[in-house]
Amino acid sequence: MKAYWINRCHVLDSESYQEYVKLAGPALQKLGGKFLVRGGEQVELEGGPFERTVLIEFNSMKDALNAYNSDEYAEALKHSRDSSDRNVVIVEGLS
């Protein structure tokens, strides 16, 4: 069953966050992630203030969790911790 990684983000330091983006994208794709949404125009209707949303599809919850816990992603994550305020969730799809 597919799983979806949803990241809502407020960028605090764009220079440092760009290093995260540069490393995270290839790492997650290498580990089976398919980017469905990566930034782009959005309208905040409730909650926030998250000006950036990323949605990544994985073949399974296990694959998504393995990607999150991988050494490759850990290296990228070092650049995100102080440069952004994030809300990350991995959710199982319906089919």
Q: What are phi and psi of 63, to 5 degrees?
A: -60, -45
Taking 90 as the threshold, does the pLDDT of residue 95 lie above it?
A: no
* Digit-coded pLDDT (tens) for 40-89: 899 989 987 898 999 999 999 999 999 999 999 999 999 998 999 999 99
pLDDT of residue 63: 97
Cis amide prior to 26 (ω within 30 degrees): no
Q: Answer whether CATH 3.30.70.100 is correct for domain 3-92.
A: yes
Taking 90 as the threshold, does the pLDDT of residue 5 lie above it?
A: yes
- The model carries a pTM of 0.92
3-to-52, 91, 95 alpha-carbon distances in Å: 20, 6, 9
